[in-house]
Amino acid sequence: MRGITSGRWSSYLQLWLLVICIQNITTSSAGKRSLYRFTDASDVEVLARELEFKSADIWKVNRHKREIDFIANPDVARSSLEQNGGELRVLVADLDALIREERAGIHSYRSKRSTSPELDFTKFPSFEELEDYLHHIAEKHSQFVKLESHGYTHENRSLYLLKIGQINSRIEKKAMFLDAGIHAREWASVSSMAFIVSRLVDLFSDPQKMLNDVRSQVNYYIMPLANPDGYEYTRSTDRLWRKNRAPPPENSTCYGVDLNRNWNVSGYGVGASDDPCSQIYKGSEPDSEPEVITAKKLISSFSDIRHYLGFHSYGSYVLTPFGYTKKLPEDNIRLLKVGHAMREAIYAVNSRNYSVGSPAHIFYVAGGASDDYSKLSGIPTSMTIELPEVDGTGFILPSESIIDIGKEAWASLEPAAAQIVEYEDYEVQSSICVGKN
């Protein structure tokens, strides 16, 4: 009898919790956009695809934690909870109110901003402010900084490449290629890259610092903002926009292509959408976008690149290859060693734990990305860092956290540079994979 009673109470408790969750969804989301977190789902990857099919906007997936962050209307959230079980909570009840608050801060800053070209790292820069800063440091530090424009976006914004290091020296050095802001709404990646640039300028300005910092033994090719059109659109119109601003294809009214699903590389189209209205639309064909064409041309044109590192947000991950397959590169052990060293360096800054592994194992399989292209094109080490969220607000990062997260991004470069110096002559292993599912 006791066992039957206990079982009944357990069933009643589960039903009661489900009812409470559904009530919370309805109450918090009536007429508003809300950010939800699903945990303990039976199959996170299947649930993510189901939510995308129902037009939910997936923000983060973590298979290890069985966790998904997403935006959807209350009916979708409710039905997913009923069908999949698990737990569902509201992270941000009124997302638009949070966005309005963020935008008010931007307008207030604009009215007070000085004419100085230096960046204020307590605020997220506009494209124009970032552009002014890049020209400023290139003019002021021409002995080790060079700024180049390599083509234009659909809306005629320059796609910049910044070179930092001993660029005019006859001493040959290996290099890193860095980029940020491929996805428009990931503001933390852009501010963190600007922070990295400022630290590199400071480092190469001081011979004494250079003697004691392994990061000075490497040259840097940097795309500080790989999707300027989309980024500016998030500042002016739709804060949660992910894609670029490509004009709609024929028979559609929807703008934009997901630039990290558009690279012509193995797995193009996997984990992406054919629907131009989707946030993960892969484009009409691979390499269709000027931002991708430019980045690809740059990565392929420098024979001294030994490490590609892309900055995204959010999630607190150091990601190793691959995204398009669950198979792993033959040098996976070495890559994981580098990734764990980067994680330890990041942890030393703010005691924040990052997970290390491949996107296909941590998230889901998705192709057409820059890091897969870089590895398969012959760059020995190719990685992506997903910067963290703060206070459960996802992409809407509090401005007071910009510097802290910038410091984490900066710290990750030290072990990355060290492995370039240490493994300068190792054999490139890129396209051979071992079957590990």
Q: Which residues are catalytic?
A: 386
Residue 221 CA to its chain's centroid (Å): 18
**What separation in angstroms does the CA of 178 have from each of 90, 157, 159, 270, 297?**
35, 19, 14, 25, 14
The DSSP 8-state label assigned to residue 281 in this structure reads B
Structure tokens at 105: 């801060």
DSSP 15-42: HHHHHHHHHHHHHHHTTS-EEEEEES-S
- How far is 64 from 389, CA to CA, in rounded Å? 17
Angle at 230 between CA 224 and CA 232, to 5 degrees: 80
Cβ contact 88:20 at 8 Å? no
Angle between helices 2-29 and 74-84 (to 10 degrees): 160
**Could you tell me how many helices (H) and strands (E) the chain has, helices first?**
13, 14
Residue where the block lists tokens 């057409």: 368
- How far is 274 from 282, CA to CA, in rounded Å? 6
